[in-house]
Amino acid sequence: MMTSLRARLLAGLLALVALISIAVGLITYERVLAESSVLFDYQLEQMALSLRDQASVAPRIVLPAHAGGTDFVIQIWDRFGTLVYASRPGLSFITHAVLGYANVALAGQRWRVYSLATVEGVIQVAQPWGVRESLAGGAALRVVVPLLLLAPLMAVAAAWIVGHAMGPLRRITAEVQRRDAGSLSPIDPSELPAEISPLIAELNRLLGRLGEAFEAQRAFVADAAHELRSPLTALSLQLQLAERARDAPEREAAHARLHAAVERATHLVAQLLTLARNEPGTPTAMSAVQLDEVVRAAIGDVQPLAQQRGIGVEFAGTPVRVHGDADALRILVRNLLDNAVRYSPEGSVVRCSTGDGALLEVTDLGPGIPPAEYERAFARFYRRVGGTESGSGLGLAIVKAIAERHGARVELGAAAPHGLSVRVHFLRLP
């Protein structure tokens, strides 16, 4: 299969030239044959007529014995059917004589014969068809040969024109070749033929989206690396303190803190992984999910932390079915509850409900988030001021990522008398 545009264009062009040449040749041949037939027929007739008047002298005309150049054959018959004169002996048309024009095959040749009846007999003038055919063939060749001779020139010209037309493509190729993997700037769309500029425009849009995705990834990795420093610093410091402990109680305290630091680093890594897994565009298997059951499971997940802090988690809700990924939804609810438990004053209650309009709500009695920071609260590594817990700062970012994948909307609000209320509006399933 030919994939090169240039080769395809060239082949098409040459085939077209060949076809046209053949057609022109054939047409010329036919036209010349027809026109020469009219002329030669007229000549045959005129010759016969002129002979009628001189028939008596004809036998005495001494024609050179079939000299080359005369294709005409003349035969004169008397009224008794005797051959009086034959310009070329050995050929007898009489048996085929029809008055007027006739086509006769004789002696391996096709002949055009004109027979004229006179008082004294019949005059026949004949000419081989080949004369007319070679005339037509010659004319056809004279037309076709120059055309065929021009073909290579046309091919060269076509190659040049096509090559010139492909210039912008070559420029773009070179431009793309020069790029390194990180360069996602748009291709210069100026001076592009109308045929490829939509392709380049689409390509540029794709490059733009890729660039944004790359930038988001890069920012994510940079943020993650930066954020990992804190728990690692804490770990390193606790380890150094443990090494320098002067007595057993000091060492024990250091080990306990070391343990907490390891847990924190582990938690951060787990949260980072969860967030990465819920990036937009992650393929998910969605099915009908009983949201209230997911909430019950998530409450079970945060129970240890809640008990440790003396916080009750209450659930009140009607059964709600949503379309989603059960595991991801459980992570979403767990993160909401985890935040609520972490920021709640000890001994308070975290309320959680599902209900009308596929709504999930989690309310705590903590310090809440100032409304001015609602927007920022969903950013990665956002931490509330005055938080006593060193959280990962990823909880709400994870909640948002999962919610977006489910087409759900997350809304922050103030709870009465104080605290944070998070509402997640899901798409309802019938």
Give the pair of three-digit tokens for residue 239: 């380890």
How far is 88 from 72, CA to CA, in rounded Å? 9
Q: Say whether residue 385 binds another protein (CB under 8 A).
A: yes
Give the nearest distance from C-beta 251 to another protein in angstroms: 12
Of 63, 162, 241, 286, which one interacts with another protein (CB under 8 A)?
A: 241
Of 230, 284, 348, 421, which one interacts with another protein (CB under 8 A)?
A: 230
The nearer residue to another protein, 159 or 260, going by C-beta atoms, is 260
Q: How far apart are the first and last CA of the chain?
A: 53
Distances (CA, A) of 350 to 135, 327, 368, 385: 109, 22, 13, 20
Q: Say whether residue 231 binds another protein (CB under 8 A).
A: yes
Residue 147, CB-side half-sphere exposure with 13 Å CA sphere: 17
Angle between helices 326-343 and 291-308 (to 10 degrees): 30
Give the nearest distance from C-beta 271 to another protein in angstroms: 16
Instruction: Count residues near another protein (CB under 8 A).
Output: 24
Using CB under 8 A, which of the segments 46-54, 93-101, 259-267, 298-306 binds another protein? 259-267
Give the nearest distance from C-beta 422 to another protein in angstroms: 21
Q: Which residues of 323-332 are buried (b: 16+ CB within 10 A; e: fewer)?
A: ebbbebbbbb
The nearer residue to another protein, 8 or 229, going by C-beta atoms, is 229
Q: Please choose, from the candidates 258, 413, 410, the residue with its C-alpha nearest in 3D space to the C-alpha of residue 333.
A: 410
Of 50, 134, 240, 282, which one interacts with another protein (CB under 8 A)?
A: 240
Contact letters for another protein, residues 387-416 (x by CB under 8 A): -xxx--------------------------
Element (H, E) at 118: none
Show the 3-state SS of 361-427. Answer: EEECCCCCCCHHHCCHHHCCCCCCCCCCCCCCCCHHHHHHHHHHHCCCEEEEEECCCCCEEEEEECC
Task: Supply the DSSP string of 318-356, one letter for each residue.
Answer: ---EEEE-HHHHHHHHHHHHHHHHHHSPTT-EEEEEEET
Of 234, 306, 311, 396, which one interacts with another protein (CB under 8 A)?
A: 234
Give the pair of three-digit tokens for residue 325: 């990924």
Q: Say whether residue 237 binds another protein (CB under 8 A).
A: yes
Q: What's CA 120's distance to the chain center, in Å?
A: 87
Q: Say whether residue 259 binds another protein (CB under 8 A).
A: no
Using CB under 8 A, which of the segments 18-26, 154-162, 226-234, 298-306 binds another protein? 226-234
Give the nearest distance from C-beta 248 to another protein in angstroms: 16
Q: Please choose, from the candidates 154, 194, 148, 199, the residue with its C-alpha nearest in 3D space to the C-alpha of residue 173.
A: 199
Of 21, 238, 363, 392, which one interacts with another protein (CB under 8 A)?
A: 238
Using CB under 8 A, which of the segments 94-102, 117-125, 255-263, 282-290 binds another protein? 255-263
**Binding to another protein (CB under 8 A): which residues in 78-117?**
none
**Binding to another protein (CB under 8 A): which residues in 260-299?**
260-261, 264
Give the nearest distance from C-beta 376 to another protein in angstroms: 12
Of 232, 286, 349, 429, which one interacts with another protein (CB under 8 A)?
A: 232
Element (H, E) at 111: strand 109-117
Between strands 312-317 and 349-355, the pairing is parallel
Q: Say whether residue 379 binds another protein (CB under 8 A).
A: no
Q: Say whether residue 257 binds another protein (CB under 8 A).
A: yes
Q: Which residues lie near another protein (CB under 8 A)?
A: 226, 229-238, 240-241, 244, 257, 260-261, 264, 383, 385-386, 388-390
